[in-house]
Structure 1
Amino acid sequence: MAQTLYFPLLLIAVCSISECVQRQYHFINENKTWTDAQRYCREKYTDLATVDNMNDMIQLNKSVKVNDKGVWIGLQGTRAYNWHWSSGDPVLFLNWASGQPYSGNNCTVIKNGKWFVGACNATWTFICYNMSRGLVFVNQRMKWRDAQSYCRQNHTDLVSVRNQNESQQLEKFINDSQTFGSEIWIGLFRDIWQWSDQSNSSFRYWKTGAPQAPDDQRCAAVEQYSCGQWGDYLCSGKWQLPFVCHEDKLIVIQQNLSWSEALRYCRQHHVDLVSVQSVEMQYKVMNVVKLASTEAVWLGLRHSCALGIWFWVSGQTVCYQNWAPGNGTSEEDCEPTVRSGAVQSGGDQSWISRPETHKLNFICRNY
């Protein structure tokens, strides 16, 4: 009886514990071109550093020993412009007005329910997304990048729109806010920049005036003399700088195992099946799950028939949730087998409930 009572109390106690750092940074104090630095990182670690958010940026700067040079990270210019959501969500849905996007502008406003490209230096009101409150209309006119900073500091990020349902919800929210007809920033932008590890991260931390003219020969470097913001330099030639590599903390195992077999594998070869306790961790899972060969991938998520709850095998209760409709209920069918949680490898990568005997790829954590 004591053990039964202790278990849910333990889960409640750890619900507020923050996520562990999901990527380890390694500062290499050797001067190399960006391409040579990339080769070094891929041989010794995972790749040149990727930065997903400001917390990552703080951790990366802590790893850098004081120097008066820039420090290469894994962001490189390309020949093509690509659309990104500020939040890092994959771009799976677009709702352009007729003839859009028609110009070289790189930020997006919504007007009368449709999307238009706009000059990023124009000032408009905007909509943030907040994990607790949902959509938040900010009745202040700001440039797109300033609006992005405001949302990240005060909420979660500028709003993303991943499907038709969310588009309709956003339009209803705007109408209810009595802002119909005016241009409003959303979180969609485009640029030429791509991370070396091909991740979806849309985080940018450019210093004022950077980057320079679009160029597929330029790469990003952290400048400590610019308060850790980024400048852009020629990737090769005279620019030889120290650099930061990263080592991934999440690994997709492309073996088809039952949930219990996957749990045993992760604990024997790594640390554990992954727990997803925040939207930031969900983005990291979304970045790696695309490597899977099955339609869904096991997480460290388990249903207790005795207690009627879902829990993480790490001992945490399920605070953050990303269930697909109809999944993740407390009253799961425990016959003929227990249910476990998986993340879809396609679509909007929501969580689904599956019998633990299903054979799927899985994600281990190394931290």
Structure 2
Amino acid sequence: MAQTLYFPLLLIALCSISECVQRQYHFINEKKEWADAQRYCRENYTVLATVDNRNDMIQLNKSVNYGFVENIWIGLHKTSVYKWHWSSGDPVSFLNWASEQPNSSNECAVMNNGQWINEKCSNTRVFICYNMSRGLVFVNQEMNWRDAQSYCRQNHIDLVSVRNQNENQQLEMFINDRNSAAWIGLFRDSWQWSDQSNSSFRYWAPNNPKVAYNAVIEPKTLGQWGDYFSPYHQYPFICHEDKLIVIQQNLSWSEALRYCRQNHVDLVSVQSVEMQRRVMNVVKLASTEAVWLGLRHSCALGIWFWVSGETVCYQNWAPGNGTSEEDCEPTVRSGAVQSGGNQTWISRPETDRLNFICTNY
């Protein structure tokens, strides 16, 4: 039986969610080895396909006629470095391990009394999903971690992420009311996307991954993923083309806006957690400590707005930034995202000269 609790910090993107996908997928029905497919994508698009979430999978699947192809290369491959990820794709910026944890090679996490313990993913536990309209959902059925993840994705959004101490305390109270240790969405693996993005989205078919080194989409499992041992086997493949571009020129905010509108579409607007993750992935390419966004302050109205005309609903300001009472002297303020640290937004004089992000939408 599932029980729910309103969880406001998980709903920050609810009031305005960008529906456009920030990657365009291209199915290449030519059989190539993995490395040759990667080279082709880099020369003609951006890179072998990265998938951030279920919406990306929907768009990717639209590009493929599974009735006429075998396995298909994507950009996921195995490395020797293990990292912790959230199932939802949220960045891992907060950890709350119990004493002497994680203490083994176990690759999934439960919360117990507010602290995290790593366990075998094959263990069975009750678990916590989140849902954009209902908040936290306690599922009083014992499943292994991967089955719990599938259940949450099919019936809600995903296993719960914990991004800060406040969310951890709320989740602790929610679980303690039910006196159970429960799966959360934290797992670790050594798989990496070829564009070096932080995406932790996985869509493995049952009994995968095994011990291989490159991921394929399996038509026989309706688009779920398997792993294939030999990168030298020749398969068709999927490239993606990024819709966000970091321009490594140091321009004022007004000059950056003019450049984007003349050469692309606009300075980027960040209207959801998903878009913020995309920005976080590309901003690593910047050569300045902050990067212009399409965010502007109106001194006359005392508000921040996106130059695309969209309302500022989702926000990711650093402490002390983004207030309505900005100092408009001697110059107007504009918004930028930090290229390091937590990559939060900051207010800067529009005359500062920074890199910037254009969008092709």
Q: TM-score, normalised by structure 2?
A: 0.88
- 8 Å CA contact 2:17, 2:271 repeated in 1: no
Judged with a 3 Å threshold, the aligned counterparts in structure 2 of structure 1 residues 333 and 159 are, in CA distance, closer, same or farther, namely farther
| Matched-pair contact (CA < 8 Å) for 1:106–1:118 | yes
How far apart are the structure 1 equivalents of 2:43 and 2:104? 41
One-letter identity of the residue aligned with 1:228: G
Q: Which SS does the other structure have where 2:259 is aligned?
A: helix
The SS at the match of 2:162 is coil
Per the alignment, residue 34 of structure 1 pairs with 34
Give secondary structure in 2 for the equivalent of 1:64: coil
Indicate whether 1:241 and 2:235 are aligned. Answer: yes
Give the conservation status (yes or no) of the 8 Å contact 2:53–2:88: no
Aligned position for 2:123: 122
CA shift, 1:130, in A, is 5.0
Q: Which moved more, 1:145-154 or 1:198-207?
A: 145-154
Distance 1:45 1:133, change over 3 A: same
Distance, in Å, in 2 between the alignment partners of 1:227 and 1:139 is 29
Question: Which runs of no fewer than 5 residues in structure 2 stay unpaired?
Answer: 1-14
5 Å-filtered alignment, 1:1-367, equals: 18-65=18-65, 66-129=67-130, 137-153=138-154, 155-162=156-163, 166-175=164-173, 178-179=176-177, 182-213=180-211, 215=212, 218-237=213-232, 239-367=233-361
Q: 1: CA distance between counterparts of 2:38 and 2:283?
A: 23
Q: Deviations over 1:294-323 (max 9, x none)?
A: 222111111122222221111111122222
- Match for 1:187: what amino acid? G
Report deviation, 1:93: 3.4
TM-score w.r.t. the length of structure 1 is 0.87
1:351 to 1:152, Cα distance in 2 relative to 1, 3 A: farther
Report the CA distance between 1:229 and its aligned residue: 0.7
Q: 2:303 and 2:238 mapped to 1: Cα distance?
A: 42
SS in 1 for 2:254: helix
Letter in 2 for 1:364: C
How big is the shift at 1:111? 1.7
| Counterpart-to-counterpart distance in 1, 2:151 and 2:198 | 22
Distance 2:64 2:338 in 1: 36
Deviates more, 1:343-352 or 1:39-48: 343-352
Q: More deviation in 120-129 or 284-293?
A: 120-129
- How far, CA to CA, are the matches of 2:314 and 2:337 in structure 1? 14
Following superposition, the deviation at residue 181 of structure 1 comes to 6.1
Q: 1:351 to 1:125 in 2, by over 3 A?
A: farther
Give the secondary-structure state (helix, strand or coil) at the position aligned to 2:239: strand
Q: CA 1:142/1:332 → structure 2, altered by over 3 Å: closer, same or farther?
A: farther
**1:349 Cα deviation (Å)?**
1.6
3-state secondary structure, aligned to 1:290? helix
State the match for 1:10 in structure 2.
Answer: none
- Percent same amino acid at aligned positions? 75
